[in-house]
Every structure is written in C-alpha cells, then in structure tokens.
Amino acid sequence: MPAQTTSPRPIPILRTDAELPRPAVSERIRDRLVSAGCRYHANDNISAFIFDGEHEALQAEVQAKMQEVLETLVIDTVSDHNTVETAQRYAKMLLTEVFSGRYLPKPGVTEFPNVSHLNELMIVGPLKVRSACSHHLCPIVGRVWIGVLPNEHSSLIGLSKYARICEWILSRPQIQEEAVIMLANELQTLVKPDGLAIVMEADHLCMHWRGVKDDGSMMTNSVMRGAFLKDPDLRREFLSLVTKKD
C-alpha cells in the first residue's frame, strides 16, 4: 500500500507594523486623550495631543468627511462650480479659523512686573469676538469688556494680548455662559489681579436662522471675581464705564 503524503500547510504571511493600515489621525488623537484621562469636550483645547504633521492630516480627514456630508445632502460637487472645493474650504476654515482655539496652542503672552505698583481700575474693550454655539454650530458674534484691578504682585500684559486670549478661548464651539468663565479663569491665572470683571454681549445666529427666528435677541452675561464681587462701588464703577463706552 503506497504511503500517504500530506500537503504542507500554507505558511501564513504576516505583515509588519509598517504594512498594517494605520488608524485615522482623529482616532490616534482621541486614543492619546483617553489614555491620558483627558476630556475632549467641544470647548477644550487639545493641541498638546496633536503631533507634528497631524494638523494637516486632520484637516484632510475633515475634508473627506465633509465631502461625504455634501454628497449625502445630494449636492453636486462635480459640475456645480460653486461647490467643487467647498469641502476643502470648509475643513480649512474650521481648523485654522473658527475652531482654531481648539487645535492651536495658547498664543505667547509677554508678562511685565508691576513696577509702579498700579492699583487702579483698568478696562479693556469692547473686544470683538466670534465663536460658534456647540448646539448647532451656528455663529456667535459679540463684544467683551474686561475690567482689571491689579495689585503690586500682578503681571501686566499688553492690550493686544487681551484680544489674543479672547480670540483663543472663543474660537471653539462654545456656549456663552461657559466661555466667559473660561476666559476669566485664564486671565485670573495670567494676571493675578485683586479683581477681575468680564461682561460679554453677543448675537447668536441660531436665534436668527432657526427655531423662533428672532432677530432682536442678544445675550449678556458677566463674571465678577475678587474685589468686583465684594465691593459694590467698584462693580458699579466698572458697569457704568462699560455703559458709557457702548
């Protein structure tokens, strides 16, 4: 009886790590955030978790997803000259402009010691601010006034730096109530004043565009810290000067 022969088993071909498909850049960034135990809410800054070259890759990924959205909306992006590059423009706008405060690190701010021991009320504003509501991603356009009561240990920053910090905080999907608190926290840490006051007045396009479609509504809110919270005369002085500057 002839001996039976067995066919050799095929040797599995293993791919190296370099050959395996890489996760999307958004997945890699999200994994880093989760591994570090960090949240990534709409108004958080996640720039520390975006590595070199990934900002451009993330923009390309957003562009591809936005192209899918346009196609799902049955919008012709091939023969319509108005929408041929809409996905590209939209992705660039989100990451480099309207949501830049989420993906870019805090702007550099030069601090100076309070050599003259300034301790009088200083008001900066109105500063024009732009954001987007995190509920509908509709624009928010408004103004911010900042009142600072420094002490001898306070750090002094240039007027333009207040505008830069405002832009960095507001250029994220936000709700206004949280935005002014985040701005107050950042300035409190940076300047270390005896008192800090912020008033924000804004127009929410989600009120114009959808829902009740009310064109006349504005939202105004404030944050008072330290001396502005304890001293009603100082608070009244700040609010009266803000009204005069309106």
Q: What is the pLDDT of residue 89?
A: 96
Distance CA 109, CA 44 (A): 20
Q: In 3-state terms, what secondary structure has residue 68?
A: helix
Task: Answer yes or no: is pLDDT of 116 > 70.
Answer: no
Task: Answer yes or no: is pLDDT of 245 > 60.
Answer: no
**25-103: CATH number:** 1.10.286.10
Beta strands 195-204 and 139-149 are: antiparallel
Contact 149, 224 (CB under 8 A): no
208 vs 184, higher pLDDT:
184
Q: What is the pLDDT of residue 121?
A: 86
Poorest-pLDDT segment among 24-28, 40-44, 239-243? 239-243
SS (H, E, C) 160-210: HHHHHHHHHHHCCEECHHHHHHHHHHHHHHHHCCCEEEEEEEEEEHHHHHC
| CB-facing half-sphere around the CA of 166: CA atoms within 13 A | 22
**111-245: CATH number:** 3.30.1130.10
Q: What is the pLDDT of residue 43?
A: 95
Give the rounded distance of the alpha carbon of 183 from its chain centre. Answer: 11
25-103 and 111-245, same CATH topology: no
The DSSP call for residue 124 is E
Q: What is the pLDDT of residue 11?
A: 60
Confidence of residue 214 (pLDDT cuts 50, 70, 90): confident
> Nearest to residue 185, comparing CAs of 218, 227, 156, 226?
226
CA angle 24, 28, 32 (to 5 degrees): 165
Q: What is the pLDDT of residue 205?
A: 86
The DSSP call for residue 49 is G
Domain positions in the chain are 25-103, 111-245
Contact 206, 231 (CB under 8 A): no
Q: 132-180, pLDDT tens digit by residue?
A: 999 999 999 999 999 999 887 788 888 889 999 999 999 999 999 999 9
H/E stretch holding 226 reads: strand 219-226
Confidence of residue 124 (pLDDT cuts 50, 70, 90): very high
Q: Which two tokens stand for residue 141?
A: 């356009």
Contact 178, 199 (CB under 8 A): no
Q: What is the pLDDT of residue 20?
A: 56
